[in-house]
Amino acid sequence: MADLSAFATKDNADEGVVIPVKLEGRKLPIAVKVYGGDSDVVQEYENAKLRKFGFGKKDKDGLDDDDVTELLTSIEGALIRIGGVWTYDWDKKDVTDEPIVLNGKTIGCDKKSYTYLLEKIPALKEWVIKTSNERSNFLSEGKEN
């Protein structure tokens, strides 16, 4: 029998996967619950953006460079992929209840806090989008980034 269950990534993409963050080769003390690019929530967001840009209309051949940049790099595009952010203990390989602080400001579990986090750490925004689009992160047996 050829069991392909480990490669059925859709459920994990929809539920989100908690992944510890490494940026520029450095371990950040946080983990982010990331929804996959194949998830319903991300697909609905991307389809709405494409409709906004007029993609698929008879008089529009495709997306221009500005449209592509907005679609691929916007903070909104990263926010839709975040299901939560927690402090992460790399030694215990587990999330903790410790507060997350950036520039003296406590990061809450809300869109405003996540926006602040992504604005102050642009590489995190890129990491979220890249991680979301990497299907191997949503395999049933998981993968470290």
**Euclidean distance between the first and final Cα of the chain, in Å?**
30
| 25-34, 65-74, 136-145: segment of lowest average pLDDT | 65-74
CB distance 91 to 85 below 8 Å: no
CA distance 20 to 22: 7
pLDDT surpasses 60 at 65:
yes
Residue 104, pLDDT score? 97
The answer to whether 102 and 116 have CB atoms below 8 angstroms apart is yes
For residue 84, give every residue at least 6 positions away whose Cβ sits within 8 Å of its Cβ, in sequence order, or none: 16, 18, 32, 33, 109
* pTM of the entire predicted model: 0.83
pLDDT at 8 over 60: yes
